[in-house]
């Protein structure tokens, strides 16, 4: 019975994180659409520049972006692509895995595949995160936005207009 309870508790926590992540992703897409982007399907596998969506397009779903998955990609007005990972963390300890292990590794893979000048590796965060982990992520080239402050992301995307 104890094992079943532990399994159920872990499953519930995972389901809650996944639901929060889906809501977060939709909020980001909705904000980008309200900022003038068009939400539409992009290739499921983006391996080179020819597969990039046109400027002003945000992906309707996740895709394989280079060698790793991206939750959301959008072609900015200056022709760079912002690759966004949406992350929800319930504790500062959990934030190490969410930001430093997973998202920073993706950033490195994206930069290697497409070049640092062409990609804006980013994360949209919600929940509890260790300030030290966030500082490390930013100092290693990851751009961070908060779910409760999506206007910062809007301001950034607007700054890429010619």
3 state SS of 127: strand
Beta strands (DSSP E) in 61-118 are: 63-65, 68-70, 72-75, 81-89
104/117 Cα distance (integer angstroms): 17
Q: Which domains does the chain have, with CATH numbers?
A: 2-158 (3.40.1350.10)
To the nearest 10°, the Cα dihedral for 69, 88, 8, 3?
90
User: Bridge partners of 125?
Assistant: 87, 146
Q: How far apart are CA 83 and CA 128, in angstroms?
A: 22
pLDDT for res 102: 86
Task: Say if residues 123 and 28 touch (Cβ distance below 8 Å).
Answer: no
pTM equals 0.86
Mean pLDDT of the chain: 89
CA–CA distance from 91 to each of 59, 100, 127, 130, 134 (Å)? 29, 14, 7, 8, 13
**Over the stretch 106-159, which tens digit does the pLDDT of each residue have?**
999 999 999 999 999 999 999 888 899 899 999 999 999 999 999 999 999 999
Q: What is the pLDDT of residues 26-48, one digit of tens each?
A: 999 999 999 999 999 999 999 99
């Amino acid at each position: 019975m104890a094992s079943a309870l532990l399994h159920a508790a872990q499953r519930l926590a995972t389901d809650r994180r996944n639901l929060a992540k889906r809501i977060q992703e939709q909020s980001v897409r909705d904000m980008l659409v309200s900022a003038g982007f068009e939400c539409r399907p992009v290739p499921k596998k983006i391996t080179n520049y020819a597969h990039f969506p046109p400027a002003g397009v945000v992906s309707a779903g996740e895709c394989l972006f280079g060698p790793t998955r991206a939750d959301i990609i959008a072609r900015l007005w200056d022709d760079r692509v912002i690759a966004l990972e949406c992350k929800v963390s319930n504790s500062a300890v959990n934030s190490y895995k969410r930001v430093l292990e997973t998202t920073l590794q993706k950033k490195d893979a994206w930069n290697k595949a497409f070049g640092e000048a062409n990609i804006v590796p980013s994360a949209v965060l919600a929940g509890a995160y260790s300030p030290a982990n966030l500082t490390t992520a930013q100092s290693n080239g990851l751009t961070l936005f908060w779910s409760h402050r999506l206007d910062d992301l809007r301001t950034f995307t607007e700054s890429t207009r010619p």
